[in-house]
Each structure stands twice: as C-alpha cells, then as structure tokens.
C-alpha cells in the first residue's frame, strides 16, 4: 500500500473533523448564550430555532475571517511594538481594532438588536484612563 496517498488525505480529514467539531460547539453554545437575551419571546418556537440555526451558520461563515483578522492584527501589532521601540500605545492602536469585537453571531445580531462589530472598540473604562483629564 502506498503511504504517500495516506499522508495527502490526512490534512483533508483533519480539516473536516475541525469544521464538524466547530459546528457542533457553535450549535450548542449559541442557544445557551441567547437564552439570557432580550429575544426570550421567541425561545421554544420554530422562529426562534430558525434564528438560532441561522446564527450558528452565520458564525461558521464569519468566524474564520474574524479569527484570521485578529491573528494578523496580533502579529502586525507585535511587529509595530518592536519596530516602534517598545511603544505600547502604537501596538494597542493595532491590537484593539483587530482583536476586540464580535466573534460569535447570535440571533440579536441577525434581528438588528445588537451591532456586529468586526473592528473592536476599547471599553469605556480603558478610554477614560487613556484620555488625560483637562
């Protein structure tokens, strides 16, 4: 038997298993997060189940792009930190927009009750400490 043929199928099998695992995790965690939300009137209905399924599918499509953007921002921010002589402010100006934001789509995002933030925004408490008092 040719062992090189088995080695070429391994990455494909690994990718399929990873996508299936991620799909199952997303399918079961999205409904749990949405139970504490404002759309409780749709819980247990066909429309609510449809919105949760649509949110799970949306997350599966959206997360790889957001994850890749965050990883890229982490790398670029780290390089900016090094090349700026250790300026944490320079690195944070890249890290915050790329790493913060929405990673999981929930039904409230699909209904428009909550915004999807691909680019992250620093928390209000961080902004208050970063801004000098006049």
What pLDDT, on the 0 to 100 scale, is given for residue 84?
92
Backbone angles phi, psi at 62, to 5 degrees: -85, -40
Can you say how many angstroms the Cα of residue 46 is from the centroid of all Cα atoms in its chain?
26
What pLDDT, on the 0 to 100 scale, is given for residue 73?
94
The rounded distance, in Å, linking the Cα atoms of 118 and 99 is 9
Half-sphere exposure of 40 (CA within 13 A, CB side): 4
What pLDDT, on the 0 to 100 scale, is given for residue 75?
95
Q: Tens-digit pLDDT profile for the chain (134 aa)?
A: 455 555 566 666 666 666 665 665 555 555 545 445 545 556 667 777 888 898 899 899 999 999 999 999 999 999 999 999 989 999 999 999 999 999 999 998 888 888 888 888 876 545 545 555 54
């Amino acid at each position: 038997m040719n062992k090189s043929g088995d080695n070429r199928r391994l990455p494909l099998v690994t990718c399929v298993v990873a996508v299936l695992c991620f799909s199952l995790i997303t399918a079961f965690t999205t409904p749990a997060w949405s139970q504490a939300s404002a759309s409780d009137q749709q819980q247990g209905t066909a429309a609510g189940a449809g919105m949760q399924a649509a949110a799970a599918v949306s997350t599966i499509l959206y997360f790889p792009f957001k994850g890749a953007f965050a990883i890229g921002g982490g790398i670029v921010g780290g390089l900016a930190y090094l090349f700026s002589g250790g300026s944490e402010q320079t690195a944070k100006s890249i890290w915050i927009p790329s790493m913060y934001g929405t990673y999981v789509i929930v039904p409230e995002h699909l209904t428009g009750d909550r915004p999807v933030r691909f680019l992250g925004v620093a928390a209000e408490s961080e902004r208050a400490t970063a801004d000098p008092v006049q």
